[in-house]
Amino acid sequence: MNRAVLVCHCLLDPLTRARGTKKINRDIIKALLDGDISIIQLPCPEMVYGFFRNPCNKEDYDTPEYREHCRRLAVKIAEIVHHYSAHFSVFGLISIGGSPSCGFQRTHVEGKHAQEPGIFMEELHKVFGENNIHIAICDHELLESEHKREQFLSSGV
């Protein structure tokens, strides 16, 4: 095992998802394990911040305080990726499509799907750029397609 992928917290621990949200498909976890790919679980930015919440939209979290919280987490994650990268290939991040914090390709704005990242993914992407960390980021539901999953998993080869 010399390859690793970052995964958003609730993909491994669905108990941290907002109350009332639909169950997410976690088949990608089996594909990672079958591919002998190490899994690095990200912290749940909402839970660490103190939210035990009902579903929200991106604008509900878009405050200077929450952005700063997400940025602090992102800086720590960049340090972890840097340490891992000295010995292993950290090639990707699996985000949670639709999440106001952890969606990358898709989030919710004013109750509608929007093709933009959530707050945590925005801050993480900025910090990764500042630290010259380049990895593929893909929302989990996009990896349900076998073609997309294979494309993502081979991006670190």
pLDDT at 76: 97
pLDDT at 51: 63
Domain count, the chain: 1
pLDDT at 52: 63
Residue 9 tokens read as 């917290």
Q: What is the pTM of this model?
A: 0.90
Reply yes or no on whether the pLDDT at 14 is more than 80.
no
Q: Which domain holds residue 20?
A: 3-156
pLDDT in tens, 81-120: 999 999 999 999 999 988 999 999 999 899 888 999 999 9
Q: How many residues does the chain have?
A: 157
pLDDT in tens, 26-81: 789 999 999 999 999 999 998 877 766 667 889 988 999 999 999 999 999 999 99
